[in-house]
């Protein structure tokens, strides 16, 4: 009897979920006409790229054309590998005649999130970030409780009766994996797990592993040598200043690497990128708070903050408390941070 009741409850739950997704996807489709030329706008990262691929598939055979445009330069090597390996057809936004498109969609973002987004009107906005104000659209689907927009897209595809190709499933699988931080985020929902499991047997998981492993350029190996030579350890804390870096992404990689070293409870890796000092903070998050430390150490000089286990500060060099002609060093980083550490 108990099993029968559980089966009925499960059936009702699945039916309600399907009807809800069906209503949403029907509302999405109602926005478009057969002759529409559609522009999908994203700030390119794995979740946004995957979601754009899904919307392009949803609109196949329903509109005249679909173009994916993005404003940001893609610098992360794993994101570049994703685009190349999956052959994602994207174009830089500034090269496109934005006003010539009859319909515009914004994915994984909202107009206030980027200056160029705020200058455009959108017909559809689908996102999972907290809701902002000062804009409107014909079709809006924003779910801050979801871990990724890719999860929403899986629900749309299933409600539309579309089984994703291996390439699309791989992109969506990776999008959920990245935005959920491998399901370690606190706000993960059952919906994210359901979509992830659905994609598990369709996606090329070996290719996803390729994306994850492709993080470092050969030319950036020199920073590891600098880090190993420069690292200063004191009371379970590791400090490293890399000097000028081509991209702060290499600081993140080195900080995560050092965070796996025994007896390092805190890791701080700084570098100069452009006219800013960028500092990456890492800790285990157990009775520690990297976000608070970043704010206490650098908040008075520039943007700083983050989560308990990971944080970041980006400080204009002109704001740093340095004497004339004094260079920022590992010792400087150590001195500034230790004032706020127990």
DSSP 139-177: EEEE-TTSS-HHHHHHHHHHHTT-PPPHHHHHHHHHHHH
- Quote the domain boundaries for residue 94: 2-213
Q: Determine the pLDDT at residue 16.
A: 40
**Do 226 and 191 reside in the same domain of the chain?**
no
| 306 phi/psi in degrees, rounded to 5 | 155, -155
Residues of the chain with pLDDT > 70, as a percent, come to 92
Domain end (from 213, 233, 260): 213
Q: Which residue matches tokens 């080195």?
A: 254
Domain end (from 158, 178, 213): 213
Mean pLDDT of the chain: 89
Least confident window among 8-12, 37-41, 246-250, 267-271: 8-12
**Do 233 and 134 reside in the same domain of the chain?**
no
CATH code, domain carrying 325: 3.10.310.40
Residue 276, pLDDT > 50, answer yes
**Do 234 and 329 reside in the same domain of the chain?**
yes
The answer to whether the CB of 259 falls within 8 A of the CB of 282 is: yes
Least confident window among 67-81, 178-192, 229-243, 251-265: 178-192
**Do 69 and 207 reside in the same domain of the chain?**
yes
Q: Determine the pLDDT at residue 273.
A: 92
**Do 186 and 245 reside in the same domain of the chain?**
no
Query: Of the segments 5-9, 112-116, 296-300, 324-328, which one has the largest average pLDDT value?
Result: 296-300
Residue 163, pLDDT > 90, answer yes
Query: Of the segments 52-56, 177-181, 245-249, 300-304, which one has the largest average pLDDT value?
Result: 52-56
The answer to whether the CB of 153 falls within 8 A of the CB of 54 is: yes
Q: Tell me the pLDDT band of 26, cut-offs 50, 70 and 90.
A: very high
Domain end (from 188, 213, 238): 213
Q: Does the predicted model carry a pTM greater than 0.85?
A: no
Q: Rounded to whole angstroms, how far apart are CA atoms 10 and 3?
A: 10
Residue 4, pLDDT > 50, answer no
The answer to whether the CB of 294 falls within 8 A of the CB of 306 is: yes
pLDDT digits (tens, 9 = 90+) for 283-302: 987 788 898 999 999 999 98
CATH code, domain carrying 80: 3.90.1640.10
How many structural domains comprise the chain? 2
**Do 232 and 281 reside in the same domain of the chain?**
yes
Q: Tell me the pLDDT band of 188, cut-offs 50, 70 and 90.
A: low
215-235 average pLDDT score: 91
Q: Rounded to whole angstroms, how far apart are CA atoms 284 and 290?
A: 9
**Do 204 and 158 reside in the same domain of the chain?**
yes
Which of 13, 3, 251, 20 has its CA nearest to residue 158? 20
**Do 54 and 188 reside in the same domain of the chain?**
yes
Residue 8, pLDDT > 80, answer no
**Do 133 and 198 reside in the same domain of the chain?**
yes
**Do 281 and 307 reside in the same domain of the chain?**
yes
**Do 241 and 333 reside in the same domain of the chain?**
yes
Q: Determine the pLDDT at residue 6.
A: 44
């Amino acid at each position: 009897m108990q099993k029968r009741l559980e089966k009925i409850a499960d059936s009702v739950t699945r039916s309600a979920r399907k009807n809800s997704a069906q209503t949403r996807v029907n509302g999405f489709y109602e926005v478009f006409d057969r002759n529409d030329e559609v522009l999908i706008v994203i700030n390119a990262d794995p979740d946004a790229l995957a979601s754009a691929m899904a919307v392009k598939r949803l609109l196949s055979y329903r509109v005249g054309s679909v173009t994916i445009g993005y404003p940001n330069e893609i610098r992360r090597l794993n994101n570049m590998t994703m685009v190349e390996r999956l052959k994602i057809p994207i174009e830089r936004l500034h090269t496109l005649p934005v006003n010539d498109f009859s319909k515009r969609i914004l994915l994984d973002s909202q107009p206030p999130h980027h200056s160029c987004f705020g200058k455009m009107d959108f017909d559809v906005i689908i996102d999972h970030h907290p809701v902002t104000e000062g804009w409107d659209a014909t079709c809006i689907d924003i779910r801050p409780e979801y871990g990724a927009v890719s999860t929403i897209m899986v629900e749309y595809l299933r409600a539309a009766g579309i089984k994703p190709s291996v390439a699309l499933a791989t992109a969506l699988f990776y999008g959920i994996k990245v935005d959920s931080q491998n399901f370690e985020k606190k706000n993960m929902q059952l919906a994210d797990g359901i979509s992830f499991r659905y994609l598990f047997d369709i996606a090329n998981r070996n290719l996803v592993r390729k994306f994850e492993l492709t993080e470092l350029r050969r030319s950036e190996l020199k920073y590891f040598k600098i880090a190993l030579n420069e690292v200063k350890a004191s009371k379970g804390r590791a400090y490293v200043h890399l000097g000028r870096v081509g991209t702060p992404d290499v600081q993140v990689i080195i900080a995560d690497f050092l965070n796996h070293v025994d007896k390092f409870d805190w890791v701080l890796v700084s570098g100069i990128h452009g006219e800013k000092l960028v500092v990456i903070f890492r800790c285990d998050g157990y009775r520690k708070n990297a976000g608070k430390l970043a704010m206490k150490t650098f908040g008075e000089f520039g943007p700083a903050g983050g989560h308990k286990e990971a944080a970041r500060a980006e400080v204009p060099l002109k704001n740093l408390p340095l004497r004339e002609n004094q260079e920022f060093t590992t010792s400087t980083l150590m001195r500034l941070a230790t004032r706020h550490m127990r």
